[in-house]
């Protein structure tokens, strides 16, 4: 047994140790060429005379320029824009009853992971906050080799058969004749595809919802989408769906905010992830599984192999089996995040596939695409992709081969090398495919059980809160409103009349199309099931890790402001002082505070809540800048907490904000409609504990009462 064949104990540092061999630090080093030759001058090319032509002989210039000329590699066909981080995965309880996967046996074991989040449609330099599904791809570096869970933040997909994927992607990418629009589905070809491929209805409902504009990668669910199989040591299988549940809950931006952020900070999501990890606010996600016994495959009114269907959590509960913590940013984005290569076919014993035709097609695509993206078949040797389990086989040569395989023999079976490297039995950890019985004629067809395109779209719609429905309606109105072709607009209206007549009417109204005369002809009747788990209204809410903009100038009310800062600190809220200029501002008691951003360099869309400090001089200083009113108005219109010191009330009025008036309820009792997000430091109120009220309001995240 050679040294690296010995069983290895994998822990989170194992991957890190492996990566350490490749890290290069240039500090304190002498500059060399790529051949190790020390360089004497890196600023002047070699010339014939100081005003003469550059000489071909200048190998240093040529090497430097050639490397630069080839610095770029093709971006991913889809999911080009992404951001990654390292972390660990820890199990809560052994899953040996269901799967033999080694990393799911022992709660004491930790498995290193690398995660890459992404948008789907946009190019590598596009904005983070566009309306789109998000990729959520995880590589587990297990003792048995890499397991990649290549998922999205939406549990279903647009199409049912992989052969349609190139068409789908061609339709939502920028249109080929003018390469517009970038990173947006609000255009003709996208909606033409959706209307002509109505299996997309369910996922379109999700992408029109606020799920498609997440607040943060840290506040997003992840889904494996397809049905996989768990297989235990006895060969007993369960169908399984994989979930990631963010500990901070699922939260989103609002559309106006998302669009503004795209201009103010296109790196919003990557910055958020990077900063959170640097600050020690490690993103955490619970790993969940839904399982269905093999003999219960046909017990549902949908086909469990259909990737446009989810398994309602109320029907098939999500069992939370472990937690992933992302705790380290990459050292080099290109080397790690750009070169990481995921593949749904990277599985370990105990995890197997189902016959979902989308999954089956993905099993081909992922390795294939890396060949052109990463330039050859040896991309598994790139440090970030390298398995921590030893690799031995007879694959040889190819572009960028890094291994020096020794010996005469590179074939199997052989006698010259004792038949090494040898295959393994299941007991020795060899991957053995689940022996599913398969029978059938060769056909190009879609199963009848895949033909219901609308029931779950209706279930999704019915499970939304009024606010969520309003946002979905507006998203449709925006997207279809950008479509130029009248017939495509009409087709979309007609298609979604099969989900909800009122929704279709609202789309028609906004785009000037003909409203449906009644429910669409394919509108399923009798969809009564609701899935509360689908509504973000029911998610975890907390102020932890949220960002509070503190607007203040010279003469701020120091007692009030310090109390708010203290309460923020205790709740894990990150405050940032924003003022007219950078530097220091002086409070009413003479104390000083450092300004983090100015009203020009920041914007309320980059914060979760705002607080305008009291103190007349401070408020007067802010009030003379029109940016202050914009700041407050946007925060208010985006349903965020707006907290104000007493003197700052005028700033609200200046921004056109009228605190909500009392309204009569149907029982004729007059109840004040309270704006839970407008917190005013009313010193006259006896029970007032302003700073605590501010933090409580921040923790509610959005105050939708302003909307209805
Ligand atoms: Fe992908 N997908 N995909 N996909 N996908 C790629 O692989 C593909 C699908 C997903 O951060 C590509 O390396 C086909 C579903 C993520 O590196 C490519 C089909 C889901 C990522 C590809 C699908 C995904 C990709 C492009 C239909 C959610 C980014 C670059 C059969 C479960 C991973 C690459 C990363 C990337 C093919 C559908 C998730 C072309 C053919 C469904 C998160 O191979």
Residue 390 within a domain: no
CA 349/CA 429 separation, integer angstroms: 7
Q: Which atom of ligand 1 sits closest to the CA of residue 365?
A: 44
Please report the pLDDT score of residue 473 as a whole number.
Answer: 98
Question: Region 634-663: what's the mean pLDDT?
Answer: 86
Residue 597 three-state SS: strand
pTM of the model: 0.96
Kindly list the catalytic residues. 79, 152
Residue 666 has pLDDT above 60, yes or no: no
Averaged pLDDT for residues 179-183: 98
116 marked among binding-site residues: yes
- Tell me which of 73-82, 543-552, 685-694 is least confident: 685-694
Mean pLDDT of the chain: 95
Backbone φ and ψ of 139, nearest 5°? -110, 115
- Of 537, 558, 584, the last residue of a domain is 537
- pLDDT top residue among 653 and 211: 211
> What are 104's two structure tokens?
């799911």
Q: Determine phi and psi for 124, rounding to 5 degrees.
A: -60, -30
Burial 468-487 (b: 16+ CB within 10 A, else e): bbebbbbbbbbbbebbeeee
Whether 136 has a binding-site annotation, put simply, is no
Q: How far does the centroid of ligand 1 lie from the alpha carbon of residue 135, in Å?
A: 8
Q: What is the pLDDT of residue 1?
A: 39
Q: Which of 500, 522, 537 is the last residue of a domain?
A: 537
362 annotated ligand binder: yes
Q: What is the pLDDT of residues 292-341, one digit of tens each?
A: 999 999 999 999 999 999 999 999 999 999 999 999 999 999 999 999 99
461 and 323 in one domain?
no
Q: Are residues 558 and 521 in the same domain?
A: no
- Contacts for 395 with CB less than 8 Å, ≥ 6 apart: 377
Residues 463, 610 within the same domain? no
Q: What is the mean pLDDT of residues 680-698?
A: 85
* Three-class DSSP category at 511: helix
Ligand-binding annotation for 366, yes or no, is yes
Cβ-based neighbour number of residue 96 at 10 Å: 14
Here the ipTM equals 0.98
- Please check whether residue 428 lies inside any domain of the structure: no
Mind listing the pLDDT tens digit for each residue in 568-621? 999 999 999 999 999 999 999 999 999 999 999 999 999 999 999 999 999 999
Query: In the chain, pLDDT over 70 holds for what percent of residues?
Result: 96
| Contact call for residues 551 and 610 (beta carbons, < 8 A) | yes
Domain count, the chain: 3
What is the CA angle 340-341-344, rounded to 5? 135
**Alpha helix positions (H), 122-247:** 165-172, 188-196, 201-207
What is the CATH number for 548? Answer: 3.40.50.880
Rounded to whole angstroms, the Cα distance separating 495 from 489 reads: 10
User: Can you give the pLDDT at residue 2?
Assistant: 44
DSSP state of 211: G
Per the structure, the complete domain to which residue 645 belongs is given by: 541-706
How many whole angstroms separate alpha carbon 669 and alpha carbon 663?
9
Q: How far apart are CA 482 and CA 474, in angstroms?
A: 12
pLDDT of res. 365: 97
In Å, how far are 286, 588, 614, 633 from 625, measured between CA atoms? 45, 21, 17, 13
Query: What's the CATH number where 464 sits?
Result: 1.20.1370.20
Numbers of helices and strands, H then E, in the chain: 17, 20
Does residue 5 form part of some domain? no
Banded pLDDT at 529 (limits 50, 70, 90): confident
For residue 319, give the 3-state DSSP assignment.
strand
pLDDT for position 657: 87
Q: Which of 27-31, 372-376, 645-649 has the lowest mean pLDDT?
A: 645-649
Q: Who has greater pLDDT, 693 or 529?
A: 693
pLDDT tens per residue across span 60-74:
999 999 999 999 999
Strands (E), 167-283: 222-223, 228-231, 237-246
Atom of ligand 1 nearest to the CA of 364: 41
What is the spatial order of strands in the sheet that 597-598 belongs to?
597-598, 574-579, 547-551, 609-612, 641-644, 678-680
**92 and 239 co-located in one domain:** yes
Q: Measuring CA to CA, which residue among 156, 533, 104 is closest to residue 317?
A: 533
At residue 663, the pLDDT reads 45
Q: Whose CA is nearest to atom 3 of ligand 1?
A: 362
Q: Which residue has the higher pLDDT, 191 or 656?
A: 191
- Spatial contact of 141 and 10, defined as CB atoms under 8 Å apart: yes
Query: Where residue 658 falls among pLDDT bands split at 50, 70, 90?
Result: confident
**pLDDT band, very low/low/confident/very high, at 527 (cuts 50, 70, 90):** confident
Q: What is the pLDDT of residue 556?
A: 98
Split at pLDDT 50, 70, 90, the class of 705 is confident
Q: Indicate which residue's Cα is closest to atom 30 of ligand 1.
A: 76
Query: Among 171, 366, 372, which is best to mutate for testing ligand 1, by the most ligand atoms less than 8 A from CB?
Result: 366
| 43 inside domain | no
* Distance of alpha carbon 640 from alpha carbon 693, whole angstroms: 14
Same domain, 258 and 288: yes
With bands split at pLDDT 50, 70 and 90, how would you rate the model's confidence at 687?
low
Indicate which CATH number applies to the domain containing 313: 2.40.180.10
Sequence-ordered alpha helix ranges (H) in 336-417: 357-373
- Residues with Cβ within 8 Å of residue 83, at least 6 apart in sequence: 116, 117, 118, 217, 269, 270, 273, 274, 333, 337
Task: State whether 522 and 656 are in the same domain.
Answer: no
Domain boundary among 385, 414, 439: 385
User: Is 398 inside any structural domain?
Assistant: no
CA angle (228 as vertex; 226, 232 as ends), nearest 5:
165
Residues 552 and 481 in one domain: no
Q: Are residues 366 and 464 in the same domain?
A: no
Q: Is residue 545 domain-shared with residue 684, that is, in the same domain?
A: yes
Do 232 and 244 belong to one domain? Answer: yes
The pLDDT assigned to 708 comes to 44
- Token pair listed for 677: 């997000």
Tens of pLDDT, residues 229-245:
999 999 999 999 999 99
Q: What angle do CA 188, 189, 192 make, to 5 degrees?
A: 85
For residue 214, count other CB atoms closer than 10 A to its CB: 25
Q: Give the pocket of ligand 1 (CB within 6 Å).
A: 76-79, 82, 116, 118, 135, 137, 150-152, 157, 162, 165, 225, 340-342, 358, 361-362, 365-366, 369
Separation of CA 366 and ligand 1 centre (Å):
7
Q: Is the peptide bond before 698 cis (omega within 30 degrees of 0)?
A: no
Domain contains 57:
no
Res. 382: pLDDT tops 60: yes
Ligand 1 nearest atom to the CA of residue 136, by list position = 43
Task: Give distance in angstroms: CA of 102 to centre of ligand 1.
Answer: 26
The residues, ordered by sequence, that sit 6+ positions from 350 with a Cβ below 8 Å of its Cβ are 99, 100, 101, 102, 104, 230, 231, 232
Give, in order, the Cα–Cα distances in Å from 39 to each of 30, 57, 66, 292: 8, 15, 17, 64
DSSP letter for each residue of 514-572: PPPSSS-TTPPS------GGG-GGGS----TT-EEEEE--TTB-HHHHHHHHHHHHHHT
- Tokens representing 135? 């990729």
pLDDT band at 250 (very low <50, low <70, confident <90, very high): very high
464 and 323 fall within a common domain? no
Contact criterion met (CB below 8 Å) for 191 and 488:
yes
Q: What is the DSSP letter of 154?
A: S
Whether 373 has a binding-site annotation, put simply, is yes
* Ligand 1 atom closest to Cα of residue 165: 27
Q: How far apart are CA 529 and CA 314, in angstroms?
A: 10
Burial class (CB in 10 A: 0-12, 13-18, 19+), 435: exposed
pLDDT of the residue at 661 = 53
Please check whether residues 528 and 552 belong to one and the same domain: no
Look at residue 668 and tell me whether its pLDDT is greater than 70. Answer: no
Beta-carbon neighbour count of residue 125 at 10 Å? 11
Determine, yes or no, domain membership for 78.
no
- Chain-centroid distance of CA 483 in Å reads 27
Compute, in angstroms, the gap from residue 116 CA to the centroid of ligand 1. 12
Strand partners, 679: 643
> Is position 391 within any domain?
no
Summarize pLDDT for 531-581 with one digit per residue, the tens.
999 999 999 999 999 999 999 999 999 999 999 999 999 999 999 999 999
- pLDDT higher than 70, residue 7: no
The structure tokens listed for 672 are 């004040």
């Amino acid at each position: 047994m050679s040294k690296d064949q010995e069983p290895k104990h994998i822990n989170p540092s194992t991957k890190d140790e492996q990566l350490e061999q490749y890290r290069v630090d240039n500090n304190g080093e002498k500059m060399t060429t790529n051949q190790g030759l020390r360089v004497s001058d890196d600023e002047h090319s070699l010339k014939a005379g100081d005003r003469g032509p550059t000489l071909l002989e200048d190998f240093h210039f040529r090497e430097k320029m050639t490397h630069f000329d080839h610095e770029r590699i093709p971006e991913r066909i889809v999911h080009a824009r992404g951001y990654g981080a390292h972390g660990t995965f820890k199990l809560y309880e052994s899953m040996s009853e269901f799967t033999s996967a080694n990393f799911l046996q022992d709660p004491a074991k930790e498995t290193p992971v690398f995660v890459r989040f992404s948008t789907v449609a946009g190019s590598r330099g596009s904005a983070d906050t566009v309306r789109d599904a998000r990729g959520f791809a995880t590589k587990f570096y297990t003792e048995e080799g890499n397991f990649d869970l290549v998922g999205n933040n939406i549990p279903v997909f647009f199409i049912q058969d992989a052969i349609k994927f190139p068409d789908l992607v061609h339709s939502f990418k920028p249109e080929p004749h003018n390469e517009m629009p970038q990173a947006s589905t609000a255009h003709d070809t996208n909606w033409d595809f959706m209307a002509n491929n109505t299996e997309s209805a369910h996922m379109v409902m999700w992408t029109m919802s606020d799920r498609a504009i997440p607040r943060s990668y840290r506040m997003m669910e992840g889904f494996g989408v397809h049905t996989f199989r768990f297989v235990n040591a006895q060969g007993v299988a369960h169908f399984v769906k994989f979930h990631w549940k963010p500990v901070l809950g699922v939260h989103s931006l609002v559309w106006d905010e998302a669009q503004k952020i795209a201009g103010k900070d296109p790196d919003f999501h990557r910055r958020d992830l990077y900063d959170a990890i640097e600050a020690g606010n490690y993103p955490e996600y619970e790993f969940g599984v839904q399982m269905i016994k093999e003999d219960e495959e046909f017990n549902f009114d949908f086909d469990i192999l259909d990737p446009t269907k989810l398994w309602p959590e109320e029907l098939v509960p999500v069992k939370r089996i472990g937690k992933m913590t992302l705790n380290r940013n990459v050292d080099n984005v290109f080397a790690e995040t750009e070169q990481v290569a995921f593949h749904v076919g990277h599985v370990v014993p105990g995890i197997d596939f189902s016959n979902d035709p989308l999954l089956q097609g993905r099993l081909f695509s992922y390795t294939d695409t890396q060949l052109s993206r990463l330039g050859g078949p040896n991309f598994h040797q790139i440090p970030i992709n390298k398995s921590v389990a030893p690799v031995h086989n007879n694959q040889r040569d190819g572009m960028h081969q890094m291994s020096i395989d020794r010996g005469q023999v590179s074939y199997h079976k052989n006698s010259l090398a004792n038949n090494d490297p040898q295959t393994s039995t299941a007991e020795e950890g060899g991957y053995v495919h689940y022996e599913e019985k398969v029978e059938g004629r060769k056909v190009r067809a879609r199963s009848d059980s895949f033909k219901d395109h609308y029931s779950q779209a209706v279930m999704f719609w019915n499970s939304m809160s009024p606010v969520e429905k309003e946002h979905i309606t507006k998203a449709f109105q925006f997207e279809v409103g950008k479509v130029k072709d009248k017939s495509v607009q009409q087709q979309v209206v007609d298609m979604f009349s099969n989900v909800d007549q009122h929704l279709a009417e609202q789309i028609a109204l906004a785009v000037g199309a003909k409203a449906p005369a009644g429910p669409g002809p394919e509108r399923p009747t009798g969809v009564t099931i609701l899935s509360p788990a689908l509504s973000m209204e029911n998610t975890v809410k907390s102020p932890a890790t949220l960002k509070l903009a503190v607007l203040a100038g010279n003469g701020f009310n120091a007692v009030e402001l310090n109390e708010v800062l203290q309460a923020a600190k205790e709740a894990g809220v990150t405050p940032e002082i924003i003022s007219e200029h950078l530097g220091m501002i002086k409070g009413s008691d003479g104390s000083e505070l450092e300004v983090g951003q100015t009203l020009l360099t920041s914007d309320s869309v980059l914060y979760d809540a705002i607080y305008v400090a009291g103190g007349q001089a401070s408020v007067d200083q802010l009030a003379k800048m029109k940016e202050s009113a914009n700041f407050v108005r946007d925060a208010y219109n985006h349903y965020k907490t707006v907290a104000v010191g007493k003197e700052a009330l005028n700033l609200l009025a200046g921004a056109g904000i009228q605190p909500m008036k009392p309204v009569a309820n149907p029982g004729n009792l007059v109840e004040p409609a309270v704006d839970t997000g407008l917190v005013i430091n009313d010193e006259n109120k006896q029970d007032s504990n302003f700073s605590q009220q501010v933090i409580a309001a921040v923790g509610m995240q959005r105050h939708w009462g302003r909307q209805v």
